[in-house]
Amino acid sequence: MLVAADTISLLSHLECSRCHAPFEAGTAHTVSACCAAPLLARYELDAAPPRSVLAGREATMWRYRELLPLRDDAHRVSLGEGMTPILQLHNLAARYGLRSLQLKDEGQNPTGSFKARGLSMAVSMAKELSTAGCIIPTAGNAGVALAAYCAKAGLPATVVMPRHTPAAFQEECRWYGADLQLVDGLINDCAARVRELNAAGRLLDVSTLKEPYRIEGKKTMGYELAEQGGWRLPDVILYPAGGGTGLIGIWKALREMQAMGWLPADAKLPRMVAVQAQNCCPLVETLAGRQPNCQQYQGRPTIANGLAVPRPLGEALMLQVLAESNGTALAIGDEDMLTGMRELARLDGLFVAPEGAAVWMAARQLLTTGWLRPDEELLLLNTGSAQKYLDNVLGRAAH
């Protein structure tokens, strides 16, 4: 049966990402009870409408309503997130002899980052599942987004953030009325504090991939880049991967579109590149075989706060994306990120977050090694605005 109503979700069930055991979707979940692995939302894709239903729909991530988990639109918590522009970087492309260089600018989302997508979805689901409030460990942007969406929803929010996070992130959380807790260390130390604060389980823990719905908001980047590209995909997507939700989500979206016929089943999918910081690059180390996994990895702070995730829960899923897409992972140093920020600002007028600059510098490096070819279509993901990172970069990028 064809389902096209804007308020109907095709959500079928949740699935353990490791053993594929099914879980009922109508209650609050953390990781799977069987494998302690992330849960993924699965949909009745054979009942999906044709992509032509998108014509005339609202220009937000909610245009893909059937492929999102919220069952009742009365619980939707939205600030207008999604449908961020894909910009042509003609000047940078000309300087480096590239045929096609594009950037999807997630800094134009509410709260200034791609985190708006995931937290809009997670808070909407928290409201639908009647939770008492939300708690999150964050490197910065996710905490700001949670605070904003919980304010919109009328839910209490507790945000646990490294003490060295730039003041702009901290102050914005306070403006939204969140309970802000500062911790010495990185996001894994914040996660430990979240476990202490929420030992009774009263609040919904929306840590990266510890609940199944943030990824569903993030995956809409994949739907958008396909639709905005006229249902043609770039050859390569470069993505800054800390916790990895966006990388995993984009790939999930591409696979869903293939299954629905929105993309040809034999469509050539992009090679995915995960970009990390040299100060904190657990995925790179695991992929290179220098460690069995990230569980004992020790990271250090970086100017790209969102990349300071030393032990990502989604490591196995990120590695799976890289394997399936014939992709790769590499790390970029802080000084190179500053160089990338300068180039993007001075040549194409974009003031991107250090994470966004990292993906451009990764592209430069991969062009030098020959892994990328100048005639390929490259898409960069900038995940946020540089405005909030000024504490990190002032005095370092003036020349």
Per residue in 310-345, pLDDT (tens digit) is 999 999 999 999 999 999 999 999 999 999 999 999
**pLDDT for position 6:** 46
To the nearest 10 degrees (0 to 180), the angle between helices 167-175 and 141-153 is 10
**pLDDT for position 5:** 42
**pLDDT for position 2:** 34
- C-alpha of 329 from chain center: 16
Is a pLDDT exceeding 50 seen at residue 121? yes
139 closest CA partner among 242, 219, 38, 216:
242
Q: Averaged over 106-113, what is the pLDDT?
A: 96
Q: Phi and psi of 79, rounded to 5°?
A: -120, 15
- Strands of 22-23's sheet, edge to edge? 22-23, 11-16, 39-43
The percentage of the chain sitting over the pLDDT mark of 90, rounded to a whole number, equals 91
Contacts of 225 (CB under 8 A, 6+ apart): 86, 104, 233, 234, 237, 250, 379
User: Can you tell me which residue has the tokens 């879980």?
Assistant: 23
302 closest CA partner among 328, 281, 273:
281
- For residue 168, give both structure tokens: 């702009």
- Per-chain mean pLDDT for the chain: 94
**pLDDT for position 3:** 36
399 pLDDT tier (thresholds 50, 70, 90): very low
Contacts of 371 (CB under 8 A, 6+ apart): 328
Check residue 231 and report its DSSP letter. Answer: T
**pLDDT for position 397:** 52
Are 160 and 135 a contacting pair, CB within 8 Å?
yes
Is a pLDDT exceeding 60 seen at residue 159? yes
Q: Averaged over 43-49, what is the pLDDT?
A: 97
Is a pLDDT exceeding 90 seen at residue 360? yes
**pLDDT for position 265:** 87
1 pLDDT tier (thresholds 50, 70, 90): very low
**pLDDT for position 248:** 98
**pLDDT for position 353:** 95
**pLDDT for position 395:** 65
27 pLDDT tier (thresholds 50, 70, 90): confident
Is a pLDDT exceeding 90 seen at residue 382? yes
Q: Averaged over 222-235, what is the pLDDT?
A: 98
DSSP bridge pairs for 380:
103, 238
Contacts of 265 (CB under 8 A, 6+ apart): 258
**pLDDT for position 4:** 39
179 closest CA partner among 197, 166, 160, 192:
160
